A = this chain, B = another copy of it.
């Protein structure tokens, strides 16, 4: 967590922005646990645990965190954006269960290589991967016999 705060502080400084209390509150709420999150999660969590921060501020802070590289857009689900930590995390792909909404991650080192090759062929310079598949997770397969 200290590391993330440090990175954030430097990023903000480089943009002539300030590490204010709400910004720090948001950062801590995000890195307190290790799961995917969306604006609502975050808002509720902050509201429960510590000094409130308005939704508007969360919406304004997320682009900063994205730009700093600390988090990234993971996927969209039910017309909400879902984010995940990205500092110190490898890329991976997501298996999203359309039945229970669970998200399972799988490593994609090999997949990445292939895609990079395709990008080279297309003369495309990749900055972000968005790889996911929807379907039924292990549990839901059992319970629905599929």
Contact = CB atoms under 8 A, between A and B. Distances in A.
A57 interface: no
A133 B106 contact: no
Interface string A93-125: 101011000001011101100110011011111
Given A76-B76, A111-B111, A126 B133 contact: yes
A124 B136 contact: yes
A15 B128 CA distance: 40
Nearest to A127: B135
A60 interface: no
Contact of A130 (B108, B119, B130, B146): B130
Given A111-B114, A133-B119, A135-B119, A125 B146 contact: yes
Contacts of A97: 124
A115 B128 CA distance: 18
A134 to B, nearest CB: 4
Nearest to A137: B124
A98 to B, nearest CB: 7
A71 B135 CA distance: 17
A128 B133 contact: yes
Contact of A124 (B76, B104, B107): B104
